[in-house]
Structure 1
Amino acid sequence: MSDTWDEIQTVRKKTAGLRDKLAKRKQERQNILQANSLLVSSSSTTVSTEIVSSEATPLCDSKQVNETQKRDNIADKKDSLFTVDSQNAEEKDEQKLSNDDITTIEDWLLVELDMPNVSLPLDGVTLSEKILHETKVTHTMLDLASVLANFESRCLLVMEKGKDESIKILSTNHVQIANLAKERGVSKKRVAKNLEITSDENKKAKTDNKLNIEMLLASETAKERETKKLNEEIKDLLSAASAKEQMMSSKFKSQGGTMKEFCSYGTRSECRTVKGSVCDKVHFRKLIHQHTDTALGDCSFLNTCFHMDTCKYIHYEVDQDDLNRIKRANMSAAVRSLGSQGTSDFKMMPPQWVQCDMRNFDMSVLGKFAVIMADPPWDIHMELPYGTMSDDEMRSLNIPTLQDDGYIFLWVTGRAMELGRQCLELWGYRRCDELIWVKTNQLQKLIRTGRTGHWINHGKEHCLIGVKGNPQHMNKGLDCDVIVAEVRATSHKPDEIYGVIERLSPGTRKIELFGRPHNVQPNWMTLGNQLDGVQLHEEDVKRSFKEKYPDGKCI
């Protein structure tokens, strides 16, 4: 609380003799003024009126008003405020503001009155409303009058009090108000901060309104929800497997669940350390020899390494205990499956093969086939453990005699991708699809170091699928176009491709070109120059072959 307010409180507690002293001092002052003929003033109201009428003169100019007049003004204000306080003592005691609230109101008034664009006179009711709105300090008009009276006693402003207790600020002393505001650390930044807060609140409100409108516009209508629900139901119906598809899937399902799932932790010891429990998946066992340096880590080629006997890196083998356990489980499951399904509808023909030179062999003696698979020895300009064929020799192969209606699966390399498409077109096929084999190593991880590729290591191979004529009784949509399988010997394609083809065309005649001994399969005829002799079981094929090659030699 300011010094003047403390003086007012002290005056309130003093005895009635103080009023007599003030009256005596006032009389002495009047006598001095009359003697000097400087200023005749019968009351404090007259002095205030003269100060207001002098617009170009500061309120408390020492050149025009001497120290005696200052003491007179202060005494008059004290006397007047004492009279007001004595009349409303009980009411003020009940509604007395705290020191912090009074300081807040004073700071706000200093900033407000120091504004250059302040318009005078200012109404007390308007000031009170603004104070309540911006400072949130609950107060009365008497509280505001007390603070303004304090300012008036310091010659900061001149106010007028009406008969109805209304207050008006008539003029202000900007210089002294600015100095006092600076001393108290109050500046226009507080107002700017309040305005900024108000502006931020307005912006936030506008943003919230905008978001609400956007959410309302983006929300689905009842009609849109119904349409979406109907589309989802149609999609579910179209994607659901039909009874025929379910029957086909169960019919060609592997008996006994022959798939082996490998443990992601590799060895059994590491799996037990991490999981702490028994694992029923397939694990690997490290091969540690005398020349093995375990600090070097795993071999990049693993089981396909050409120098495994001397390689210092770590190699692996499949844990036989896991394989034996899985074989026993698969055998029991296969027995149960055979007992429930009965005999198969298709009779599988034993494997057949012919050792021959594909460039000169008369393929017409073999008859027609529903599916052809070929893994040609493309000339990829690399050193390979087998002979290759030129592009012209590939184009001139007599493939069209093997098939009138059916499919062909043609394995191609990166360089021979376009050549393979040209060959399909020359042989009378239309490319209808493409199958990709993603290669994995022995540990069932993607290959990062391969032996093929001129610029980057190849981790996959492509198989072009062509169709000729109008093949009938084919099971479409059973398998996907990606095979993930382990790499074995050079040019050894995954065995999963035979299952894909058998499910596509079950029980039909199939032929594989450029095959090797590991490629012979039931219900397949294999042709290649690395096979062992001739093995045929179909009587009509035997007769045709003997007529063409009586000595059985076609290489």
Structure 2
Amino acid sequence: MALALPQLPTVQRLLAAEASARRQAWEAYDADALEQEISKYKAALSDVLDELQRLGAGVDDDDVGEAADAEGQEGIEGVDWRYGSVDELDAREWQVPPHCIPIHANVTTYDWSQLIAATQFDVIMMDPPWQLATANPTRGVALGYSQLTDQHIAQLPIPRLQRNGLLFVWVINAKYQFCLDLFDHWGYELVDEVVWVKMTVNRRLAKSHGFYLQHAKEVCLVARKGQDPPGMQGGVGSDVIYSERRGQSQKPEEIYQLIEKLVPNGKYLEIFGRKNNLRDFWVTVGNEVTGQGAPREDQRAIDGGLRIPNAVYGRAG
């Protein structure tokens, strides 16, 4: 039986609208208008559910909960996603924080010299799209870094961005030793690590596939170069974070809170960031910080079937 969409004008309008037009409309909304739009979506989805139930195709709430809590949804180590609910939408996450500095650029082609000349950072955090020899990169395809190799990550000018300070790097098991070697190469020493224990909405372990064991955590290695950053406050937080999974490749808000307590009023930089990583008082560099795809010059090359100019390509390291 077909869904009687003519009886559901709100749903029909939403389905008919172009994605680009909807996005432009959303970005023009203030917080109150955005809340109203979200309410319309919730009401429309409720209408759809009522219609499905009328047609005898209703979904049991318990089945939805079990599906959303199923183990192994992530599939590949380092890829973080789960089924969500419209009830979880937060209008604040749709807005660009007013005091953040997003830099929309491909990190492999970005001219870092101006940023290096402008300031030195107390804390740098990055979540590289690690390339695996036997699988897709952990999130490289989505970010446009599908050919990024270990050597290309090693070529990032991290030592020039930070004379003294802390470096936080999210790492997967297969790249743990490489990351330790990378610290040596860049002139850093390993000083600590943070473990994120990933939880479901029902506070169960959010397990994903692993070669030997199922994985329910991610590790962020902490390294130091030179001296501790000015004003650093040691012992202010735990090295274990219990937090729900959020958007794709989105790290928990607690890691930012921990860094900001550890180095209050510091200069913070995140590399390989996305729109859902933007945060007040952070500089975020990445080719998806706008949430609208790659930088213009990259997209023109992709649309033309060409490689991104000056981007790095090659075999996985």
Q: Please indicate the TM-score interval, normalised by the length of the shorter structure.
A: 0.5 to 0.7
Match of 1:520 among 278, 281, 289: 278
Unaligned runs of at least 5 residues, structure 2: 1-48, 75-82, 91-96, 292-308, 312-317
Query: 1:428 Cα deviation (Å)?
Result: 1.1
> Map of 1:282-301 to 2, 5 A cutoff?
290-293=57-60, 298-301=65-68
Query: Match for 2:59: what amino acid?
Result: T
Tell me which residue corresponds to 2:218.
Answer: 461
Matched position secondary structure for 2:110: coil
Matched, 1:474 2:232: yes
User: How far apart, in 2, do the equivalents of 1:529 and 1:354 lie?
Assistant: 8
Query: 1:426 Cα deviation (Å)?
Result: 1.1
The answer to whether the 8 A contact 1:440-1:484 is kept is yes
Tell me which residue corresponds to 2:304.
Answer: none
Matched, 1:375 2:127: yes
Query: Match for 1:455: what amino acid?
Result: Y
> Map of 1:255-266 to 2, 5 A cutoff?
none
Match of 2:110 among 336, 347, 361: 361
Matched position secondary structure for 2:173: coil
Matched position secondary structure for 1:299: helix
Identify the structure with the greater helix proportion: 1
Matched position secondary structure for 2:66: coil
Q: 1:295 to 1:401 in 2, by over 3 A?
A: closer
User: How far apart, in 2, do the equivalents of 1:295 and 1:458 lie?
Assistant: 25
Match of 1:401 among 156, 160, 182: 160
User: How far apart, in 2, do the equivalents of 1:456 and 1:421 lie?
Assistant: 23
Matched position secondary structure for 2:174: coil
Aligned residues: CA RMSD: 3.4
Query: 1:300 Cα deviation (Å)?
Result: 4.2
Q: 1:295 to 1:479 in 2, by over 3 A?
A: closer
The answer to whether the 8 A contact 1:369-1:510 is kept is yes
> Map of 1:313-392 to 2, 5 A cutoff?
350-366=99-115, 367-380=119-132, 381-383=134-136, 384=139, 385-386=141-142, 387-388=145-146, 389-392=148-151
User: How far apart, in 2, do the equivalents of 1:529 and 1:315 lie?
Assistant: 25
Matched, 1:420 2:179: yes
Query: 1:382 Cα deviation (Å)?
Result: 2.9
Matched position secondary structure for 1:415: helix
Deviations 1:31-56 (CA, angstroms, capped at 9, x unpaired): xxxxxxxxxxxxxxxxxxxxxxxxxx
Matched position secondary structure for 1:416: helix
Query: 1:455 Cα deviation (Å)?
Result: 3.4
The answer to whether the 8 A contact 1:408-1:467 is kept is yes
User: How far apart, in 1, do the equivalents of 2:238 and 2:156 lie?
Assistant: 30
Q: 1:354 to 1:465 in 2, by over 3 A?
A: same
User: How far apart, in 2, do the equivalents of 1:368 and 1:554 lie?
Assistant: 26
Q: 1:382 to 1:300 in 2, by over 3 A?
A: farther
User: How far apart, in 1, do the equivalents of 2:124 and 2:257 lie?
Assistant: 14
Tell me which residue corresponds to 2:18.
Answer: none
Q: 1:295 to 1:492 in 2, by over 3 A?
A: closer
User: How far apart, in 1, do the equivalents of 2:181 and 2:227 lie?
Assistant: 21
User: How far apart, in 2, do the equivalents of 1:478 and 1:521 lie?
Assistant: 20
Query: Match for 2:103: what amino acid?
Result: V
Query: 1:319 Cα deviation (Å)?
Result: 9.0
TM-score of the superposed pair, with normalisation by structure 1: 0.35
User: How far apart, in 2, do the equivalents of 1:295 and 1:500 lie?
Assistant: 36
Query: 1:453 Cα deviation (Å)?
Result: 2.3
> Map of 1:168-207 to 2, 5 A cutoff?
none
Deviations 1:355-407 (CA, angstroms, capped at 9, x unpaired): 11212323231121100000000013434552342111112221111000000
Query: 1:486 Cα deviation (Å)?
Result: 0.3
Tell me which residue corresponds to 1:49.
Answer: none
More contact order relative to length (CA 8 Å, sep ≥ 6): 2
Query: Match for 1:376: what amino acid?
Result: P
User: How far apart, in 2, do the equivalents of 1:315 and 1:291 lie?
Assistant: 18
User: How far apart, in 1, do the equivalents of 2:61 and 2:103 lie?
Assistant: 47
Query: 1:409 Cα deviation (Å)?
Result: 0.5
User: How far apart, in 1, do the equivalents of 2:288 and 2:259 lie?
Assistant: 23
Query: Match for 1:371: what amino acid?
Result: V
The answer to whether the 8 A contact 1:302-1:316 is kept is no
User: How far apart, in 2, do the equivalents of 1:417 and 1:521 lie?
Assistant: 27
User: How far apart, in 2, do the equivalents of 1:532 and 1:418 lie?
Assistant: 33
Deviations 1:475-526 (CA, angstroms, capped at 9, x unpaired): 0001010000001222111011110000111112110000001111111000
Matched position secondary structure for 2:167: strand
The answer to whether the 8 A contact 1:303-1:316 is kept is no
The answer to whether the 8 A contact 1:514-1:528 is kept is yes
The answer to whether the 8 A contact 1:302-1:315 is kept is no
Tell me which residue corresponds to 1:217.
Answer: none
Tell me which residue corresponds to 1:507.
Answer: 265
Query: 1:554 Cα deviation (Å)?
Result: 10
User: How far apart, in 2, do the equivalents of 1:315 and 1:353 lie?
Assistant: 26
TM-score of the superposed pair, with normalisation by structure 2: 0.60
Query: Match for 2:211: what amino acid?
Result: H
Deviations 1:412-465 (CA, angstroms, capped at 9, x unpaired): 0111111111111111110000100000011121124x2x42333210000000
Structure number with greater Rg is 1
Unaligned runs of at least 5 residues, structure 1: 1-286, 307-313, 324-347, 534-552
Matched position secondary structure for 1:492: coil
Q: 1:292 to 1:375 in 2, by over 3 A?
A: same
Deviations 1:252-278 (CA, angstroms, capped at 9, x unpaired): xxxxxxxxxxxxxxxxxxxxxxxxxxx
Percentage of pairs with the same residue: 31
